[in-house]
Amino acid sequence: MSYEFAGYRFDSERGLDGPSGRISLRRTDARLLQLLLDADGRTVTKDAIVAEAWEGRAVTDDSIFQAVRRLRQAMPAASGTEIVQTVHGAGLRIGTRVLRLAAGGGKSPPAFAPSPRVEATAALTSARELSARRSARDLSNAIEAARSALELDPEYVAAWVALADFHLLQAGRMVAPPKQAGAAAVEAANKALALDPACLQALADRGWVKAVVDLDVRQGLADFDACLRVSDKHWLARGLHAWALIAAGRLDEAVAEMKASHALNPWAGWSSGVLAMYLFFSGEDAAAIAHARESASRFPDVEISHQQLSMVASGLGLHDEAIAAGRRAIELAPDTPLVHSALPCALALAGRREEALPLIRAIEDADFPVASTWLSIAWLALGDRARALDRLREARDTGAPQFVYAFVDPRLRALRGDPGLERLRPTA
């Protein structure tokens, strides 16, 4: 494998070439450079450096420092930058875009490579910060910030991936029409994959849209198969794969996959809350409520944790707990009707019709796509079977990602076998 970066070319057999020709490197320095280039812009820890570049031999910090100094002297970069960067307290990384040259001469920039444009990196950092707030306005602003990064650097793979992620969040949180947001996510993912065909998060984003928005389950699972061949260590990809498996009617596998996602990153509020719901879907009631409570306790300011607690508790007849959690979810996300839908479901299942109806109508009248799947549960609990089915048809037609849950959610058990529901079932 050969690499091009910042005017240099490195090959593990030929060595390093620069603008003025061949550059001689010590064997250890060459191994260190290849290790950093192989890392695709990610930080490499000291332990990994010692194990690979020094082949596990005892080495002092000063020896590593001197190797880095020699590489920097061999590869001077533009003023104010370093090709080999120190990430204090963490390790070393390559601080410029790297192109991998395959045997046929094709070039591929890895997904984690930083942009050589500092302004593009700053714009993407701001985009990620905005998206973490999860509101409709912040997600729209995150998309604009990501597009700004791409205007500065159209080959910035990480920015294309982030753009796909943000549109996926819009679809998943129902703050934009899911089919429209899903199409935009696929477009961005395809841009990333054109630059890096092994970009696993782009494959996962595209697979999720295909499986749970477009209901092209077979194509979605094919993307996830390709993604997991790249790596099975990415928590979000595993979690999105679990959702696609539910669309395929493979609930047991979905639960196992969501457990794997949570194990890979137990500090992710999304996978923690969704795991509780999947356990509930599979009939593991004690584990579901225990996990939902733990998630709400661990992530007290993450609305999805309280939403999922409300959903699980309502399905288990723990009405007071479900209502309290539903109210807390609304407090944390006052502008996201999908999150609000847990409360009318809890109230309806508790028999509190007069309190549930105004909330249902407020969600249905909001300037967002209707949270049809969850409202079908409320309507069914209120005795309106026809309206519950209408809401599920609407969920399918609009591409609501939560639609696939209708076939496994115990709260819709009364509709199982109904021809009106079975006609809507996605095919794998």
Q: Three-class SS of residue 401?
A: helix
**Structure tokens of 236?**
């979000």
The predicted-structure confidence for 195-240, as pLDDT tens digits, reads as follows 888 889 999 999 999 999 999 999 999 999 999 988 888 999 999 9
Residue showing tokens 């407090």: 331
Residues in the chain: 428
This prediction has a pTM of: 0.77
> In the chain, what are the domains?
2-108 (1.10.10.10), 266-428 (1.25.40.10)
- So what's the pLDDT on residue 376? 97
Least confident of 5-9, 144-148, 285-289, 385-389: 5-9
Residue whose C-alpha is closest to residue 188's, from 216, 162, 209, 208: 162
Evaluated on CA atoms 358, 363, 367, 369, the torsion sign reads: negative
Residues 311-329 have pLDDT tens digits of 999 999 999 999 999 999 9
> What's the confidence (pLDDT) of residue 311?
97
Give the whole-angstrom CA distance, residue 315 versus residue 351. 13
Q: In whole numbers, what is the pLDDT of the chain averaged over residues? A: 92
411: left (phi over 0), alpha (psi -120 to 50) or beta: alpha
Per-residue model confidence (pLDDT) at position 115 = 80
Q: Percent helix, strand and coil across the chain, each rounded to 5?
A: 65, 5, 30
| CA-to-CA separations, 384 to 374, 376, 389, 421, in angstroms, rounded | 14, 9, 9, 14
* Tokens representing residue 145 in the block: 């910030």
Sheet holding 15-18, edge to edge: 21-23, 15-18, 8-11, 2-5, 99-101, 107-108
Query: What pLDDT is stored for residue 109 in this prediction?
Result: 53
> Does 141 have pLDDT greater than 50?
yes
Alpha carbon distance 147, 187 (integer Å):
13
